[in-house]
Amino acid sequence: MTDSSPAHTAPHRPEDTDRCPCGSGEQFGRCCGPRLDGTSPAPTAEALMRSRYTAFAVGDSGYLLRSWHPRTRPSTLEPDPRQHWISLQIFGTEAGGLFDQSGVVEFRATYRFEGRRGVLAECSRFARVNGDWFYVDGDIET
């Protein structure tokens, strides 16, 4: 018996000159690309949120794990390649700035999974450890 379902592949990493998946309007190489590469840390909680969304969009589980707070980080993470992230909207932030030690980012991420559109809405909590921002956890809104 053969499987007639379509093959699913992971999204590709954008070129540096492509628009960044996070929706900032910037080029990937000037926005989330350096964060995913580890060459430029996120200066704010919102910047980390945007880079994590981009990591989900391109299937970069290594960055997702590296940017997750050690206290709450799972041991493994495998984004589902059938889930295609479409857009990110940031609705608000609380603290999370250049001089803060913690912050909250409220967002809505739209995705398509097996032909159906879905939305993930969350208030995410972030903490700065030794100068670097990390995702701690979040409350999913229904």
Check residue 79 and give its pLDDT.
87
Structure tokens at 103: 């912050």
pLDDT digit string, tens, across residues 44-66: 999 999 999 999 999 999 999 99
* CA distance linking residue 134 with residue 51, whole number of Å: 11
For the chain, what percent of residues have pLDDT higher than 90? 88
Dihedral sign from CA coordinates of 33, 36, 38, 41: positive
Check residue 1 and give its pLDDT.
38
Stronger pLDDT, 142 or 8, i.e. the higher one: 142
Asked if the model's pLDDT at residue 19 lies above 90, the reply is: yes
Nearest residue to 9 (alpha-carbon basis) of 62, 65, 79, 109: 79
Q: What is the pTM of this model?
A: 0.91
Check residue 131 and give its pLDDT.
94
Dihedral sign from CA coordinates of 19, 22, 26, 30: negative
- Mean pLDDT of the residues in the chain: 92
Nearest residue to 95 (alpha-carbon basis) of 122, 53, 133: 133
Phi and psi torsions of 61, nearest 5°: -70, -30
pLDDT mean over 129-133: 96
Name the pLDDT band for 3 (thresholds 50, 70, 90).
very low
pLDDT digit string, tens, across residues 78-113: 989 899 999 999 999 999 999 999 999 999 999 999
Check residue 90 and give its pLDDT.
98
Asked if the model's pLDDT at residue 18 lies above 90, the reply is: yes
Domains of the chain: 28-141 (3.10.450.50)
